[in-house]
Structure 1
Amino acid sequence: MRERMPTVVSTDVVCLGESMVTFLPSQAGRLADVPSFERAIGGAESNVACALAGSGHSVRWVSRVGADGFGDHLVETIAARGVDIGFVGRDPRRPTGIYFRTEGERPTTLDATGDSGGAAEVVYYRAGSAASAMSPQTVDLGTVDDADVLHVTGITAALSEECLELMRVLTGPRPDRPLVSFDVNYRVGLWDRAEADAAPGPGVLLELARGCDVVFAGEDEAAAAWGVTGGPESLRERLPEPAVLVVKQGGEGATAFVRGDEGGDGEAADTVHFEPALRIDVAGAVGAGDGFAAGFLSATLRGLPLAERLRHGHLTAAAALTVPGDLAEPPSREVADRLVALDDEDWRALHLGPGWNTGKADPS
């Protein structure tokens, strides 16, 4: 049964997916050796929602959380960022998800013992969470369709069979569907567990991506999830359907493929553009992908050219990388537009460190 929700009002972007309370380590090292943690929040879709709201867009977050203190913390924190949380369901029978992590990048591969090869340890306590109960029966499509853009990620598909069913509906054809943005966001730990439970493996992410309009995928996760190697062109060959495909290439930059008839029947040739990444003094190695998606989508909503969309993506990713947690204040539109307008030489010379996006330090 669907819960009673407020009247739906049109919005720029809807972000749908699970957010969790995250515990950040007080020191580097194994989880077994960390003596204490600082509470924060984490969730790919809510990260994007907060960054887009900070960039001046109207944004709605659609999800479910438990009727518990962690759920209160999530909705209050996200609402304080200017995001509409009126369509977040509260579940009295299921808890809000939480997770613990160490410093470093999230792994894309694990060996037979579950070791991540030196990447960050990430331990989820989200099985049976309130968000894992999202389904076509608990989420009113009216709350997501009355928007210019719907942003989702592959994380949701791994949470439960009900969530996968919802994702298939959201990314499938239907009348008056908004532009659907999909970040692959492959999480090896989630899909390993899903496969063990006889649920579809990460190949289902390829199926979902093919139904979307804008797709974000990292070279590393495309190789890990689908065995796609050979560079951005190889991934485009595997994913010809989306009107826009953005391939993130780590510290090198990002390549975007935009069909000549963007939003059309897929017959026109692609426009292809590469934009180099920036030099960054990294304070925290998470949230960059979410920031990139938010910056790119913000520039897309503003109708900016492809090169500028990629640069806005890099700048919002840089904002995430120069703070220790997942959430970061995006650069003001004035600052971002000024940096995006730099010529190629000056763009490549930029060096960003903590505080650059809040006016506490000047970009150099």
Structure 2
Amino acid sequence: MAEFDVLSFGETMAMFVAEQTGELADVERFNKRIAGADNNVAIGLSRLGFDVGWLSRVGDDSLGRFIVAALQREGLDCSHVGVDPQHPTGFQFKSLQNDGTDPSVEYFRRGSAASHMGIADVPERLLDARHLHATGIAPALSPSMNALTRHLMTQMRAGGRSVSFDPNLRPSLWPSQAHMIEQVNSLAALADWVLPGLAEGQLLTGQERCEDIARFYLDLGVHAVVIKLGADGAFYCSHEQQGYVAARPVHKVVDTVGAGDGFAVGVISALLEGRDLPKAAARGNWIGSLAVQSPGDMEGLPTRAALTADENR
């Protein structure tokens, strides 16, 4: 039997969120939270009742202890989170926005503990997980994290496990745009389900239309592509079917960060439950809509009870 329903990995950072709007330099008070696209998805799946293992590394410092405790409170198994006595836990500062615009974020993660992870940090038993979720962030952190990502994706798919991949492009972490495109597309080819945003898909493939972006990845061996279209909903495509799913209405956008992670939670959870692509995209749209209406990166992610109530409406 698989040790976990889902294996996720990457870097969790401490996040200091401004308590007042304005320039970060002028803010005097911050709230301490956690941040990281990979762990946002892991937390979202855990809230829906999946058994999720988290593979990562933190520094031997107060921020690292804070992060592990926060992830454990969310139900993640952190038994495979290493503690690095030589490198610090990464962190970030985030501005407070109340007008629906993207917040300013400043990162302090170069040389972090997580960036020093490699293939040796992967216990063989983790490969028994039923599903692996990966993004384009971890491989951008360092060559060793790139190698770890490829190892996990290759081994999991070779073992008959399902693999999802969200490009989550971070151009500032790559040496060049061309290198980023080549590396991210080669990773996407190792996945069963690829979940890009429209702008990401256009940049990565050189195609403009959703249908052509999806075809690019299907031709690489991917089984299904679900493209995030923001207020326009989502586009799904496999070799058997394709179509659009309308977005859920949003009364007020509070914080756009984490919307794509919420979308991934919806799609992945539905597909793991055997739902079809239209239903998976629809669930992704719903959870994404919850994320943008809540402050913080993952505060709006729903519980299983909330999901059941919505689907029974």
TM-score (norm: length of structure 1)? 0.78
Matching residue of 1:279: 249
1:51–1:329 Cα contact (<8 Å) kept = no
Matching residue of 1:40: 33
Structure 2 residue identity aligned to 1:303: G
Does the residue aligned with 1:21 lie in a helix, a strand or coil? strand
- Cα 1:161–1:68 shift into 2, 3 Å: same
**What number of residue pairs does the alignment pair up?**
307
Alpha-carbon shift at residue 309 of structure 1 (Å): 1.2
Does the residue aligned with 1:150 lie in a helix, a strand or coil? strand
Distance in 2 between the 1:158 and 1:51 partners? 23
Does the residue aligned with 2:110 lie in a helix, a strand or coil? coil
Structure 1 residue identity aligned to 2:210: P
Does the residue aligned with 2:21 lie in a helix, a strand or coil? coil
Matching residue within 189, 211, 218 for 2:197: 218
Does the residue aligned with 1:61 lie in a helix, a strand or coil? strand
> Does residue 1:208 correspond to 2:187, yes or no?
yes
Alpha-carbon shift at residue 31 of structure 1 (Å): 2.5
Alignment of 1:132-171 (within 5 A): 132-143=115-126, 145-171=127-153
Matching residue of 2:4: 11
Distance in 1 between the 2:75 and 2:121 partners? 24
* Unaligned ranges ≥5, structure 2: none
Alpha-carbon shift at residue 227 of structure 1 (Å): 5.9
* Unaligned ranges ≥5, structure 1: 1-7, 105-117, 260-269, 343-364
2:57–2:113 Cα contact (<8 Å) kept = yes
Bigger shift: residues 227-236 or 163-172: 227-236
TM-score (norm: length of structure 2)? 0.90
Identity %: 35
2:270–2:283 Cα contact (<8 Å) kept = yes
Bigger shift: residues 46-55 or 298-307: 298-307
Q: Select the structure of larger CA radius of gyration.
A: 1
1:284–1:324 Cα contact (<8 Å) kept = yes
Alignment of 1:101-250 (within 5 A): 101-103=94-96, 120-143=103-126, 145-172=127-154, 175-191=158-174, 194-195=175-176, 200-224=179-203, 226=204, 228-240=206-218, 241-250=221-230
1:54–1:329 Cα contact (<8 Å) kept = no
Residue by residue, what CA displacement relative to the aligned partner does 1:4-51 show, whole Å, maximum 9, x if unpaired? Answer: xxxx96111011111100111222333233333211101111111111
Structure 2 residue identity aligned to 1:321: V
Alpha-carbon shift at residue 139 of structure 1 (Å): 2.3
Does the residue aligned with 2:79 lie in a helix, a strand or coil? coil
